[in-house]
Structure 1
Amino acid sequence: MIRFFNEDIDYKLPQKQITREWLKRQAEHEGYAVGDLNYIFCSDEYVLQVNRDYLQHDYYTDIITFDQREEESKIEGDIFISVERVIDNAKQLNLPVEQEMRRVLAHGLLHLCGYGDKTDEEVQRMRTKEDEWLENW
């Protein structure tokens, strides 16, 4: 079950059911079933505090993903998304906010599918996968 929550902001994800189906379909394409997956929409400050408290990082980011799986083939986790970062990134990239939000939603799920973004090679692979997923929207 994919769920969407707001923590300290009021954000309404457009097309929730279509988004759930799209994310589930993409995870299945990667060879994973989706169990309990929570997307938590929040502010920059909320994500910053999560980053500090759990990862000992002191910087803003658009997304933080926590893998909570108990079975290797089943995705479960919590994904925190800073709506403010997504909006700012969309403006900087001259993209619709909805498109950038879909990219970030995909990015978090791709982390849970085993994709990283620490090296230049990993970043390129992640971007390629994000683009593939967005084409299947």
Structure 2
Amino acid sequence: MLKFFPEEIEFKVPQVMKTTKWIKSISESNGYKLGELNYILCSDDYLLEVNKQYLDHDYYTDIITFDNSEEEDKLEGDVFVSVDRVRDNAESLNVPFETEFRRVLIHGLLHLMGYEDSTDELKLQMRAKEDECLMLF
């Protein structure tokens, strides 16, 4: 089950039904079932506190993914998304907010599928997979 939760902000997911179907389709086409997947949509300050409390990082980020999966082929987790950071990134990258928002949503899903972005090479692979997924929207 896929859910979106605005946390301490007022925000509506653009094209929520289409976005939900898209995320489910991406997971299924990669051989995964979708279990309990929660997207928590929040502010920069809220996500900074999550980053400090759980990862011991003192900096802003656009996304933090917590993998709660217990089965190898079933994706479950909590994906925290800073809507503030997504807006800023969209502006600085000169892309529509909705495109950057979808990129961040799928980025979290890809982390749950095992994709990493800890090196420059892995970041390039992650970006290519994000682009591939965005084309399917």
Range into which the TM-score falls when normalised by the shorter chain: over 0.9
CA distance in 1, matches of 2:56, 2:35: 28
Find the counterpart in structure 2 of residue 86 from structure 1: 86
- Once the 2 structures are TM-superposed, how far is the Cα of residue 134 of structure 1 from its aligned partner? 0.3
Superposed displacement of residue 28, structure 1: 1.1
Deviations 1:42-93 (A, max 9, x none): 0000000000000111110000000001111100000000000000000001
What is the match of residue 51 of structure 1?
Answer: 51
Structure 1 stretches of at least 4 aligned residues deviating more than 3 Å after TM superposition = none
Within 1, Cα distance between the matches of 2:56 and 2:124? 26
Q: What is the TM-score with the length of structure 2 in the denominator?
A: 0.99
Query: In structure 1, how many angstroms separate the alpha carbons of the residues matched to 2:23 and 2:6?
Result: 19
Structure 2, unpaired ranges of 5+: none
CA distance in 2, matches of 1:125, 1:31: 19
Residue in 2 that maps onto 1:2: 2
- CA deviations 1:103-133 (Å, max 9, x no partner) are 0000000000000000111100000000000
Which one-letter code corresponds to 1:38 in the other structure?
Answer: N
Deviations 1:9-59 (A, max 9, x none): 111001111111100111111111100100000000000000000011111
What is residue 34 of structure 1 aligned with on the other side?
A: 34
| Length, aligned pairs only | 137
